[in-house]
Structure 1
Amino acid sequence: MRKLINVFIVAAGLLFTANMANAQQKIGHVNSEDVFANLPESKTAQTTLENLSKTKQAEIDAMIKEYQTQLSSAQAKEKSRSEANKETVDKELQTAATQLQDLQKRISDAQTKAQQDLGTKQGELFQPIQAKVATAISAISKEKGLAYVFDIANGQGGNNLVFWEGGDDITAAVKTKLGISATAAKAPAPKK
């Protein structure tokens, strides 16, 4: 009976030890900024956004220039005001003020619309890229048997991984999976 109890205790201990070994999860980390900085699609999307931004800004700058020209004209007209032409100039100034207010509203509306357009375009361009990177990270994580992967990119804002010792850095594997060369520019390593 004593042998049976000893065998049972040893078996339970082995089972418990096996469960503890399985409970240890592998952890890895990736620098998504490094991946995005070297992804050709990301560079193309950024260039597209910059070009759209420049186009929108040029349109707004033209409207601002028109506003400044009309304002200067109204100010010059106000200086030429005399008792003889008071009534005529006052009507012209009133019309100019209305036009300036309308132009100011159009400028404000154009700025708001430009911001909305840029936000929409950014979503259109970067969502597929983010999905592609997420898929690559998932695939590499599964290949390496990782249970958790932390993003150590500084620009993520929510970087709550303050310190790590070891772990698998899968940034290079993700870049390889996405076809980014290993010699591509490397982002600075985060501070520990």
Structure 2
Amino acid sequence: MNLVKIFRLTLAAALLTAGTLVATSAQAQAPLKIGYTDVQYVLAQMPESKQIESDLKAYNTQLEAQLKSKYAEYQSKGEQYQKGEATMTDVVKADKQKELQSLQQSIQEFQRSAEQSLQQKQQTLLKPALDKLQKNIDAVADENGFTYVFNSDTGGSPLLLHAPESGNISDLVLKKMGITPGAAAPVKSGPASPVSTPAPAAGKTKTKTK
């Protein structure tokens, strides 16, 4: 499994509802002031990100172990079938083939459910970090008089196409959380790849939230 891909999906899931909008009643009558932040840039520097990555890796390892166990069973029975096929009656042969097909389907279904399970795990692990980030974006926006804050994330389709650097509140958000801004580059989003063991072919012994 490619851990980078997993973490990319984790960060991609953190786009805080297509550009975070922040407004308060006190700002309603104030001059319009627009700011922006790169969500991935901020998340990549939060200490929680390392723990999330570690937990996802451990969870994915569990899924891979289960898949490999299923695959080993399928492969073992497939080899037994091939060795004894010549001496089997048609009834026994048909029964063994049906068993192998059932195991193959079980492996394929497990792969699908494993991917969904990993995505759910990502969302669960990510929620506290997202809530913390949202709270600090709100606080920075209020303290600095920003009526709206957009997400300038460069992965995918950013909502902000042009803006002065003076409107970038990313480092202010990091400082608000007690994090010294670094040079960490935003992690591009990408698809998750929870389990890499290929599914066997039939009849063969192969597998914003706020």
Task: Confirm or deny: 8 A CA contact 1:25 1:147 kept in the other structure.
Answer: yes
2:33 counterpart of 1:26: yes
Tell me which residue corresponds to 2:176: 177
Instruction: Give the helix-richer structure, 1 or 2.
Output: 1
Aligned counterparts of 1:149 and 1:119: Cα–Cα separation in 2: 27
After TM superposition, the structure 1 = structure 2 runs for residues 100-111 of structure 1, keeping only pairs within 5 Å, are 100-111=100-111
Q: 5+ unaligned residues in a row in structure 2: which ranges?
A: 1-28, 187-210
1:67 aligned partner: 74
Equivalent in the alignment of 1:6: none
- Residue identity over aligned pairs, in percent, reads 32
Task: Tell whether the 8 Å contact from 2:74 to 2:104 is kept in structure 1 after alignment.
Answer: yes
- Structure 1 residue 48, shift from structure 2 partner: 0.6
- State whether residues 45 and 125 of structure 1, in contact with CA within 8 Å, keep that contact through their aligned partners in structure 2: yes
Deviation at 1:60, TM superposition (A): 0.5
**TM norm structure 1:** 0.73
One of 178, 184, 187 as aligned partner of 1:186: 184
Report 1:149-188 matches (<5 A): 149-155=149-155, 157-182=156-181, 184-187=182-185
Letter in 1 for 2:168: D
Q: Report the secondary structure of 1:154's partner residue.
A: coil
Q: Distance in 1 between matches of 2:119 and 2:96?
A: 34
TM-score normalized by the length of structure 2 = 0.68
Task: Measure, in 2, the Cα distance between the counterparts of 1:168 and 1:160.
Answer: 14
Match of residue 54, structure 2, among 30, 47, 54 = 47
Residue correspondences, number: 158
Rg larger for: 1
Q: Counterpart of 1:116?
A: 116
d(CA) in 2 for partners of 1:185, 1:58: 36
Q: CA deviation at 1:23?
A: 6.4
Query: Which residue in the other structure is 1:136 paired with?
Result: 136
CA contact (8 A) 2:151 2:159 kept: no
In 2, Cα distance between equivalents of 1:152 and 1:65: 46
What amino acid maps onto 1:179 in structure 2? G
